[in-house]
Amino acid sequence: MLMFTAALALLSPAAPRAWADSNAPPVGLDQVVHAALAREGIPPEHAALALFSHERGRYLLLWRERELMTAASNAKLVTSFAALRLLSPDFRWRTPIYLVEQHDGPDTPARQGLYVRGSGDPSLSEARLDAMARHIRAAGVTRIDGGLVFDTSLFEEPTPPAQGDPDWALAPVNPYIVNDNAVAFTLLRQDDGQPYSVVTDLPDDAVEVVSNLAAAAGVDARIVVRQRWSPEGVRFTLSGELDRAHPTYWVTATVQQPVQYYFLLLRHALRRAGIAGQMPLQPRQGEFARVKRVYLDTSDPLRILLERINKDSSNVAAEALLRTIALRGKAAGVNAGDGLAGVRELLRQDFPQAWEEVSLVDGAGLNRESRVSPLFLVKLLNRIHNYPTFSHEFISSLSISGWDGTLRYRDFPPRLAGRIRAKTGSLSGVQNISGYLQVFREQVVFSFMIDGVPRGTERLQEAQERILTDIYDHLVQSQAPERPAKQPIVRN
């Protein structure tokens, strides 16, 4: 572990100038934090902070700054930085689509199938699938008598992250991703006293939705979504009890069969584009007799897609990005370990004095064994701030307090609206926020991590918001100009 010899001198910033009582003793930022933690009932040994001022060129606060804390989604800061460095901000995912000739046997006539090679593109949506289908139709394809052929060999067979947490859900990571491999349901209260109706955008010809929802007054809403997949489609069964006081609920379920989900939506898009055929789903087996590429789907550049990972905090996108990093040195069969090896090598190169203060075992931070210190995150954010090729895009990909992303509905007071750009992270008992805080013309880089506090997510977030507000108010007061002395009134 490295020693930081100047730490003691940097624990407290310059004393604030008090307007009300010029004789009041100066209050250091460390004292403000200690008092705020005590007020919120958070043991000091379960919190860690680091604050750095660009304008002053020094740390304003170091509080257990080298402690390795559960990273949660703050791990995405490391993953996305590594991807920008190793893949470049202009990197794009490319998904080739081929017409292939298929034979059931040596003497059977050829059938025309469609082969989509999964690329791990995490940004694909139903709208992109529709555009893909229209391009295939424009290439002269009117019928597909063979199958829709898939190939998952780009990524190794997925395994769930170790030590899962009940607060998160991650679809199996594979090269076929659409809509974050999740299904959204809207539950609408019925005026006739019947249970809530369920609305989804999924195609009716392959999806069945069954509602076993009950409604009562004053109950805590609990909803369970079960899935049953078959070659023909999927049945979603929603069960639970809802509070009738709320007219609408929104529920998102992680898809358990992402490959089938991808091709179910693609088949529906092909039919909407006017392409006929049964199009059963088939795994790739060996080489094709004839292959013709009919379309190459291309994603937006990584510099734009960063928002999906940082602002929207997509776990699937972060894990796909980690595996894409590994494809720099391996053509197929990559896994999270391959990507993490590349990330570690980069951190050892870029942060030779601090790389041991981060220990990731996944790309999204869902595994509790992924740990990082707040001091490392501040150093990382400092490096990003000064990086000419992607500083603006990276900082823009972070959530803005009171405005968008995971900070849109956080309960910061109005004076902090728009003044925080940060990445949040939550697991049970874990609450992290790391980013940039604007205080007048001063930009403060900060990381505030809470770990091991047995409290509900919402209550822990509110406590963290109040403490961060105390820090902001102290910094504002310490920068405020002295109140001018009253001048005598001269009467002529």
Helix 75-87 with 315-326: angle, nearest 10 deg: 40
Domain boundary (250, 284, 299) is at 299
As given in the structure block, the two tokens for residue 485 are: 């002395």
In a domain, 80, yes or no: yes
User: pLDDT digit string (tens) for 479-492?
Assistant: 765 555 455 454 54
pLDDT in tens, 6-27: 332 323 333 333 333 333 444 6
Residues 280 and 140 placed together within one structural domain of the fold:
yes
Widest Cα–Cα separation across the chain: 116
Both 42 and 129 in one domain: the answer is no
Pick the residue with more confidence: 404 or 488?
404
- Residues 102, 227, single domain; the answer is yes
The reply to whether 492 falls in a domain is no
Q: How far apart are CA 411 and CA 407, in angstroms?
A: 9
Q: Note whether 100 and 23 are same-domain residues.
A: no
Average pLDDT of the residues in 405-431: 96
Tokens of 238: 């929603």
Residue 3 belongs to a domain: no
Q: Is residue 78 part of a domain?
A: yes
Spatial distance between the Cα atoms of 432 and 424, rounded to a whole number of angstroms: 5
Q: Which pLDDT does position 298 carry in this prediction?
A: 97
322 with 192, same domain: the answer is: no
Confidence of residue 244 (pLDDT cuts 50, 70, 90): confident
- Residue 202's pLDDT band (cuts 50, 70, 90): confident
The residue-averaged pLDDT of 347-370 equals 95
pLDDT tens digits, residue range 71-102?
999 999 999 999 999 999 999 999 999 999 98
Same domain, 317 and 197: no
Q: Annotate 430-455 with b (16+ C-beta within 10 A) or e (fewer).
A: bbbbbbbbebeeebbbbbbbbbebeb
Residue 251 or residue 158, greater confidence: 251
How many angstroms separate the first and last alpha carbons of the chain?
71
Q: Is the domain of 74 the same as that of 175?
A: no
- Report if residue 488 sits inside a domain: no
> Is 374 a member of any domain?
yes
Residues of the chain with pLDDT > 70: what percent?
A: 88
Tokens of 269: 């898009």
Parent domain of 334: 8-89+303-479
Residue 429 CA to residue 452 CA, distance in Å, equals 5
- Token pair, residue 354, equals 């601090």
Instruction: Give mean pLDDT, residues 194-212.
Output: 88
Q: Which of residues 299, 334, 350 is at a domain's end?
A: 299
Q: Mean pLDDT throughout 398-403?
A: 96
Residues 125 and 184 in one domain: yes
Asked which of 299, 316, 351 is the last residue of a domain, the reply is: 299
Answer yes or no: do 110 and 255 share one domain: yes
- Name the domain count of the chain: 2
**In a domain? residue 16:** yes
| CATH number of 325's domain | 3.40.710.10
Name 214's bridge partners: 241
Q: Which two tokens stand for residue 479?
A: 């920068």
Please report whether residue 2 resides in a domain.
no
Cα 12 from Cα 26, distance rounded (Å): 10
247 and 270 co-located in one domain: yes
* Angle in degrees, 0-180, between the axes of helices 315-326 and 336-350, rounded to the nearest 10: 80
pLDDT digits (tens, 9 = 90+) for 56-69: 999 999 999 999 99
Q: Same structural domain for residues 145 and 39?
A: no
Residue 379 pLDDT more than 80?
Answer: yes
> Does residue 294 sit in the same domain as residue 311?
no
Angle made by CA atoms 376, 410, 314, in degrees to the nearest 5: 60
Q: How many CB atoms lie within 10 A of CB 283?
A: 11
How far apart, in Å, are the Cα atoms of 187 and each of 150, 179, 202, 217, 255?
33, 19, 15, 16, 18
Residue bearing the bigger pLDDT, 294 or 110: 294
- Which residues are CB-contacts of 96 (< 8 A; sequence separation ≥ 6)? 116, 117, 293, 295, 296, 297
Whether residue 218 is predicted with pLDDT greater than 60 in this model: the reply is yes
Q: Of 378, 353, 322, nearest to 79 (Cα)?
A: 322
The sheet that has 47-53: what strands, in order across it?
58-63, 47-53, 442-451, 430-439, 420-427, 399-400
